[in-house]
């Protein structure tokens, strides 16, 4: 198979994967303010790389190669996917908040370090929600009065990296399992 055919097959497979699970993949992406389109795009390119890498490994294996190696790899990536999904969900819960205060959907990323004045305000008003604290400091447009810019950027990076690891581990698990199944049918 020539390079163009391999690339076309790989892109088709990744496109199918993202189309089949597209809403799920987009729905779990970090909130929009964290360049979620960029993160989803990077994840899709890395998934294509993983698929082509697995195809290259498979191409260099003897035809009678046991599928057990692919099954073991898929189990490893299954465990990694479970762990990364737990980590991502935890970080998503801890690093996002709903706004305005009555909203239920967490669509904004908060920082990891409060500013001095916001920390003091939070201690003085311990029953206030994150959204209420943000509102007290002027709303979303004034979010850097609540958290430091560096800590907001750090939270965005954490969520983006967690998301990419989750998507890559799930895709790699599926690709390895597919190779194992195909190996038993040859």
* pLDDT by residue, tens only, the chain of 186 residues: 566 665 676 666 666 666 666 667 777 888 866 577 788 788 888 888 888 888 777 777 766 667 888 899 999 999 999 999 999 999 999 999 999 888 888 789 999 999 999 999 999 999 999 999 999 999 999 999 999 999 999 999 999 999 999 999 998 998 888 888 876 665
Q: What sign does the dihedral 144-146-148-149 (CA atoms) show?
A: negative
Nearest to 113 by CA among 163, 162, 154, 159: 154
The answer to whether residues 136 and 128 touch, using CB atoms and an 8 Å cutoff, is yes
pLDDT of amino acid 30: 86
Reported as a single tens digit per residue, the pLDDT across 131-184 is: 999 999 999 999 999 999 999 999 999 999 999 999 999 989 988 888 888 766
Whether 169 and 98 have beta carbons less than 8 Å apart is answered as no
pLDDT value at residue 70: 85
């Amino acid at each position: 198979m020539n390079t163009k055919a391999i690339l076309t097959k790989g892109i088709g497979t990744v496109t199918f994967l993202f189309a089949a699970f597209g809403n799920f993949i987009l729905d779990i992406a970090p909130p929009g303010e964290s360049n979620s389109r960029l993160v989803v795009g990077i994840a899709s390119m890395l998934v294509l790389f993983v698929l082509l890498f697995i195809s290259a490994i498979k191409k260099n294996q003897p035809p009678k190669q046991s599928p057990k190696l692919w099954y073991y790899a898929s189990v490893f990536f299954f465990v990694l996917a479970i762990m990364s999904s737990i980590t991502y969900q935890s970080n998503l819960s801890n690093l996002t908040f709903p706004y305005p205060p009555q909203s239920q959907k967490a669509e904004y990323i908060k920082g990891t370090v409060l500013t001095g004045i916001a920390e003091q305000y939070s201690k003085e008003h311990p029953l206030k929600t994150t959204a209420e604290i943000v509102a007290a400091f002027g709303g979303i447009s004034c979010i850097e009065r609540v958290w430091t810019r560096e800590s907001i950027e750090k939270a965005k990076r954490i969520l983006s990296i967690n998301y990419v690891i989750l998507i890559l581990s799930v895709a790699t698990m599926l690709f390895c399992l597919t190779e194992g199944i195909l190996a038993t049918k040859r």
